[in-house]
Amino acid sequence: MMTFPRLKLGRTAFLLALLAMPVAGYAQAPAAPKTVAPAAKAATPEEKAAPPAQAPGPAQTDPAAKAAVPAPGAAPAPGGDEPAEAADRSIERMKSRIKEFEARTDVAPDIRDQALALLRTALGHLEAASASAASAKRFQESAQKSPERITEAKQQLEALRKEPGEEEFAKRVDKLPLGEAQQALDASNSAAATTKADLDQLEGRLREMATRATAAREEQTVEKQALDALENPDEAQAGDSNPVVVDARRAAVTAERRARAAKLNLLEQELIALPARQASTTARRDLAAAKFDKLSKRIPIVAAHVNRLKEAEAAKRQADADREAKRLSAQHPLLEAYVKDTDVIRERGADATRALDEGKSRLAEIQADLARVRDSKVSAQQVLEIGSIGGEFSELLRAMRAQLPDTARLQRRIADRDQAIVDARLQRLQAEDARRAMSDTGGMADRVLAAHVKRAEQKAVPDHVRPALEKLVAARRDLYVQLHDALVTRIAQLAEQNGAERDLLNQTTQLRALLNSRLLWLPSSGSIGIGWLDQVRASFGWIADLEAWKVTGQTLFARAVDRPIPTAIVLFAFGALVVFSRRLTARLARIAEAVGRYSTDNYLRTPEALLISALLAIKTPLLFGYAGWLLVQPPLAADFAVGVGVGLLAVASLLMFLRLIQFISMQNGLFSTHFGWSERARATLYQNTIWLKYVITPIAFILGMINASSLQSLRDGLGRFAFLAGGIAVSLYIARVIDPRRGIIADRLTPTHPLWMTRVIWHALLSLLPLAIAGLALWGYYDGASQLRDGLLLSVAIIVGAFLVYSVAMREVLVARRRLETKRAVERREKARAQAIAEAKAATGEPPPPAVEEPEVDIASISDQSRQLVRLSVFLLLATALYFFWREALPSLALLDVQLWQQVIMADGATRTVPVTVSNVMVALATIVITFIAARNLPGLLEITALHRLRIEAGTRYAISAVSRYLIAIAGLVIAFQSIGFDWSQVQWIVAALGVGVGFGLQEIVANFISGLIILFERPVRVGDTVTIGDLTGTVSRIHIRATSMTDGENREIIIPNKSLITEKVINWTLTDSITRVTLKIGIAYGTDTVRAQMSILEAVKATPQVLDAPAPSVFFVGFGASGLEFEVRAFVLQLTHRSTVINDLHVAIERALRERQIAMS
């Protein structure tokens, strides 16, 4: 490379001066004031436009400060401006006075505190007055020096324009060697970054200054009103009787008057200096913009020169390396193979270098897009601040929105780049490991040789191979070093690209939301006039261009041929649908016959019918949609062909929707057979959908073509005409379909229905809505009307989809209820057959035993719960979908994004702040409501859909339902708290506090709660069990989370805390076996034949009803009593409720048997 040793230093300095021009030329203006608050440091007006100053008051006073105030009643200096020395003396006197007052002991403490507070307030006012006076003085100085600064900036700008052009600059750059050129490039990039930051700052100041005059005048009005209110200082003393407090309050009021007067003077000086400051800032902004523009043009020149030198140097190194590698590889096959492997690594390095070059251009594109979007955002804000916007600005904003980047594409790029960063990091680690392994070139060469000898089964290689191999290892190591460095740079570059693209995504999202919220209500053209029909006629000529249709047909055919596989798939699917249409229709009829019958109906009938209806509906839209898709694929065809493609896509989507309604409303369709619609409602919807399909399809095609065109005349002519025709057709369709007398809701709209009284109003409003939207288009709001039309159509589609989901879910609930009712009926019949023997009659006068309350849920109740839960779920899904769909179009919905407070949370060991908005609070409230409803109704839905299928006892099903209710409540509360920014790190302190409370006063409640969970899971006691706790015996009727209900023999409801069932002795008569033993004591007179007596008693016991044969009853002679022989009778009964009856019957039977056999009882 050629160099020029003698001129190198001077040449480099010259180029650096050209590239990194002094930025300080426009940044060295003397300081000037800004509007200040008490104790705030004055800032240069060139540094920042003066923000509104707060009125001085006690809240602005430093409590620790010590100040003095002039004599009570002293007026402030005229105009609020006083010498700095006098202000300082007033502050010092006040500080001294406060210090002396703090040391006084002859004043009551409360009086002293009140007076000190007033004096400190006065100190704050005095300090504010001093700061305002200093700022006003600096504003004056800034205005006086502005002409000098403007002249200086203009001189620098003129000198900049006289500098050599880019061609001359490029010639001088071409003479620089690589090192000096790289130094110049680094310096110029640094200067460009500094200049761009200063330029942005100056433009921001100018924007602030543009609105500062209005704000300053508003502040003047407020300050004048406040000063007028303080005109009479003695009025403030009316409520004080202590002279110390009166004197202190007078000092505070006087100081406040001085502060406000100084603030008024500051605002006046700011307004006077504002034009000069704006002119000075504008001149410096122009200078910074010119410098940045000059740098932006020269930096690529230097960068291109640096790249050329690097490429030349790299090419020279590569050529030398290739020659050396070629020479060495010819010496041995091992060396040749090693060189080939090295070439792969070299190619990877070349790929990384090329990726770096491409990444630089991509980063430049992202930054250019970001700058464009930022400028567009500023321009849009300025335009929207005007208020009344005409058609020209409206079209400008719409064009601005159309040019915004696609957010979905940006998100995909960011995600792909994140993955590329991960891959690059893995490659960097591999390169680092390989480089580290080759740090010892000799050792690596020996390992390669050893592996080659082992693989080739050779004893040795020639001696000259090892030195050559060591050179190749060193060359490969250098390649790995280069690859590692390139990957490190590439990772940093990708991260920088992602940062810029994330910023671009954020700016794009904000700008699109801003435009969407305003463009809906901005006119796109004028209203229709006398020449409108001529525009319609001319538009018909455009759409009837036969040559354009011919070209479109040729384009469509060529693109279909170019994509044979998708075309074949679509044609095959269309042919299959045509062939099987009759079979599918017949299948719908068979499904309709099976619906409603217990033996043939099941859960899959309705989803299957819906799927068949969708297949029948998609047949024709499939061809239209595929043709439209072909015409809009890149490379884009002529505008007419693209318009036809967009029109076909519009027809396909609308036709699919209408045909789906057609097929689900025909005979044997979903509405009549599955959802229970009346024949009149079904026929009304079906017949009106048929004629609307043929009328609205060509209108949708025309509107799609016109909206895809860039010709405003088409929108104003044929577009409005088609809009009007479509509005009339849809209005007629809605009027006939929702007619309160003959429409689809006529059967349910009875005089007792809430909508009956307002039927005329809502019918008219809904019917005229499409005409109203068409009227907006005729009035000039064509784009806004199009957006409303598309939004309403999609909203209707969402509502219909939600209705289908709801209807299918309710149908599934109905099927489940029928099956459950049938199963319960069978169970009741079997139970009645098993319990054919009636309960024993109360022969002894005792009341009959209490009936055991089976823990079976009411079928009607759980059906209602399931319906309510399904209805709520569908409604919430529908509301959420509509909200997110319309939030960008309706500004009022953006109010839900207003921040209420900020929540600090811990995430991954770091603290971050999360904003909590109105929408977050609404989500939390909605979650609590959903949790409450779900906790009440979801167990019923589980019972009707799943639990009854399982072969588990009723008590187990009850336990599962109860536990699911608790889990739903806990999960809902956790989600609700998380939605408003609370996490476990914050809630755990509340839990700890609750733990302390539990330890002191809630331990019994918690013990019962835990015991309830143990009972539900371990099930030592079940609903329906007969238990004895202490002296209480009864049947368990309900198990709650805190206590268990039990019904005793006298039909009394006994509430037992769950803790007692766990900690005390409990006899469960029916836990594993309901059979219990009855024991009786019988006495026989002395002298009786014991064997004969024993057999008589046993016969009487066996003959007693409800005494089980297995285990068999028994009678034992157990001893000699004081008055007779003692026998013990042991008999078994099926359940505890039979005990009283069996004991009574045994006593009667034994007494009768002994009496008949003349056996005396003792």
At residue 431's C-alpha, the angle toward residues 430 and 436, to 5°, is 100
In this prediction, residue 688 has a pLDDT band, given cuts at 50, 70 and 90, of very high
Give the least confident one: 119-133, 303-317, 829-843.
829-843
Spell out a b/e string for 138-153, using b for 16 or more CB atoms within 10 Å of the CB, else e: bbbebbeebeebbebb
Strands 910-917 and 899-907 come out as antiparallel
Among residues 734, 708, 735, 702, the alpha carbon closest in space to that of 720 is found at 702
DSSP state string for 329-369: HTT-HHHHHHHHHHHHHHHHHHHHHHHHHHHHHHHHHHHHH
- The per-residue pLDDT for 239 is 52
The whole-angstrom separation of Cα 915 and Cα 661 is 44
What does the pLDDT look like over 323-382, one tens digit per residue? Answer: 777 777 677 777 778 788 888 888 888 888 888 888 888 888 888 888 888 888 888 877
- How far is Cα 470 from Cα 483, in angstroms, rounded to an integer? 20
What angle is formed at CA 513 by the lines to CA 508 and CA 514, rounded to 5 degrees?
100
Q: Residue 1069 carries which DSSP code?
A: T
CB 553 within 8 A of CB 735: no
At 1092, which amino acid appears?
A: R
Predicted confidence band at 987 (pLDDT cuts at 50, 70, 90)? low
Q: Is 516 exposed, middle or buried (0-12, 13-18, 19+ CB in 10 A)?
A: middle
Higher-confidence residue of 598 and 789: namely 789
- Please report where in the chains the tokens 């167990």 appear, as a residue: 939
Tell me what the mean pLDDT of segment 775-791 comes to. 81
Q: What is the DSSP letter of 176?
A: -
Q: Dihedral of the CA atoms 149, 152, 158, 160 (nearest 10)?
A: -100
Q: 246: how many CB neighbours lie within 10 A of its CB? A: 19
pLDDT at 658: 92
DSSP letter string over 874-899?
A: HHHHHHHHHHHHHTTT-GGGGGGG-E
Closest by CA to 324, choosing from 471, 135, 200, 222, is 471
What is 1076-1156's CATH topology? Alpha-Beta Plaits (3.30.70)
Tell me 529's DSSP state: -
Higher-scoring residue by pLDDT: 968, 476: 476
Contact by Cβ (8 Å): 705, 644: yes
- pLDDT at residue 337, as a whole number: 81
Domain boundaries, the chain: 8-24+53-318, 330-519, 532-816, 862-979, 983-1072, 1076-1156
Q: Measured between alpha carbons, how far is 970 from 977 in angstroms, rounded to an integer?
A: 11
The secondary element (H helix, E strand) that includes residue 212 is helix 178-229
Q: Tell me whether residue 713 is exposed, middle or buried, using C-beta atoms within 10 angstroms of its C-beta: 0 to 12, 13 to 18, 19 or more.
A: middle
Query: What DSSP letter does each residue of 635-702 carry, written as one string?
Result: SP--HHHHHHHHHHHHHHHHHHHHHHHHHHSSTTSIIIIIS---HHHHHHHHHHHHHHHHHHHHHHHH
Dihedral (Cα; 523, 528, 533, 538), 10-degree rounding: -20
Give the pLDDT band (50/70/90) at residue 9. Answer: very low
CB 774 within 8 A of CB 781: no
Q: Do 300 and 173 form a contact (C-beta atoms < 8 A)?
A: no
Cα(260)–Cα(231) distance, rounded to whole angstroms? 11
Distance CA 762, CA 757 (A): 10
Q: Which residues contact 62 (CB under 8 A, 6 or more apart)?
A: 39, 120, 123, 124
Q: Which of 84-88, 100-104, 952-956, 994-998 has the highest mean pLDDT?
A: 100-104
Query: How far apart (Å, rounded) are the C-alpha atoms in residues 413 and 631?
Result: 26
Positive or negative, the CA dihedral 20, 25, 28, 33 is: negative
CB 100 within 8 A of CB 244: no
3-state secondary structure (DSSP) of residue 870: helix
Residue 1032 three-state SS = strand
Task: Render pLDDT for 515-556 as a digit per residue (tens, 0 to 9).
Answer: 877 776 677 776 777 777 877 887 787 888 888 899 899 999
Q: Which residues pair with 1026 in a beta bridge?
A: 1035
* CA 546-547-549 angle, 5° bins: 65
Average pLDDT over residues 644-650: 91
Measured distance between the N- and C-terminal CA atoms of the chain, rounded to whole angstroms: 138
Whether the full predicted model's pTM is greater than 0.75, yes or no, is: no
Query: Taking 80 as the threshold, does the pLDDT of residue 61 lie above it?
Result: no
Arithmetic mean of pLDDT, 99-117: 82
d(CA 923, CA 925): 5
Contact 294, 195 (CB under 8 A): no
User: Is residue 1117 predicted with pLDDT exceeding 90?
Assistant: no
Give helix 243-329 / helix 109-161 axis angle, nearest 10°.
40
pLDDT on residue 302: 85
The values of phi and psi at residue 461, to 5°, are -120, 160
Q: How many CB atoms lie within 10 A of CB 525?
A: 20
- What is the DSSP code (8-state) at residue 863? H
Rounded average pLDDT over 672-700: 89
Percent of the chain at pLDDT > 70 equals 74
Q: What's the confidence (pLDDT) of residue 808? A: 82
Mean pLDDT for all residues in the chain: 76
Count of CB atoms within 10 A of residue 72's CB?
16
**CA dist., res. 1107 & res. 1147, Å (int):** 13
CATH class label, 983-1072: mainly beta
750 DSSP 8-state letter: -
Measured CA to CA, the distance from residue 720 to residue 779 in angstroms comes to: 10
According to the model, what pLDDT value does residue 807 have? Answer: 83
DSSP helix, strand, coil percent of the chain (3-state; round to 5): 70, 5, 25
Q: How far apart are CA 124 and CA 259, in angstroms?
A: 9
826 pLDDT above the threshold of 50: yes
143 in Cβ contact with 51 (< 8 Å): no
Residue with tokens 């230093």: 9
- Identify which has the larger pLDDT, 26 or 228: 228
User: Among residues 1105, 1082, 1103, which one has the least CA distance to residue 1159?
Assistant: 1082
**pLDDT (mean) for 733-761:** 82
Structure tokens at 239: 């409520």
For residue 313, the tally of other CB atoms under 10 A from its CB is: 12
Q: Which two tokens stand for residue 130?
A: 């001093």
The secondary structure of 793-850 as a DSSP string is HHHHHHHHHHHHHHHHHHHHHHHHHHHHHHHHHHHHHHHHHHT-SPPPP-TTSPPPPP
The single residue listed with the structure tokens 């003695």 is 234
CB count, 10 Å around CB of 59?
A: 10
- Which amino acid, one-letter code, is at 164? P
For residue 748, count CB atoms less than 10 angstroms from its CB and return exposed for 0-12, middle for 13-18, buried for 19 or more: exposed
Q: Which of 509-523, 855-869, 910-924, 1124-1138 has the highest mean pLDDT?
A: 1124-1138
Q: Which pLDDT tens digit goes with each residue over 31-51? A: 333 333 333 333 443 433 333
When pLDDT is averaged across residues 444-468 and rounded to a whole number, the result is: 75
Q: Distance (Å, rounded) from C-alpha 766 to C-alpha 1157? A: 96
If you ran DSSP here, which 8-state letter would residue 61 be given?
Answer: S
Q: In the predicted model, is pLDDT for residue 849 greater than 70?
A: no
649 pLDDT higher than 90:
yes
Task: Give per-residue pLDDT as tens, 896-943.
Answer: 555 566 655 554 444 556 666 666 677 777 777 777 766 666 655 565
| Rg, Å, the chain Cα set | 46
Say if residue 934 is exposed, middle or buried (CB neighbours under 10 Å; 0-12, 13-18, 19+): buried
Give the number of C-alpha atoms closer than 13 A to the C-alpha of residue 1131, restricted to the C-beta side: 31
Residue 701 to residue 704: CA distance in whole angstroms: 5
Identify the band that residue 617 occupies on the pLDDT scale cut at 50, 70 and 90: very high
| 3 state DSSP class of 152 | helix
**Is the pLDDT score of 511 beyond 50?**
yes
> What is the C-alpha separation between 885 and 878, in angstroms, rounded?
11
pLDDT band, very low/low/confident/very high, at 574 (cuts 50, 70, 90): very high
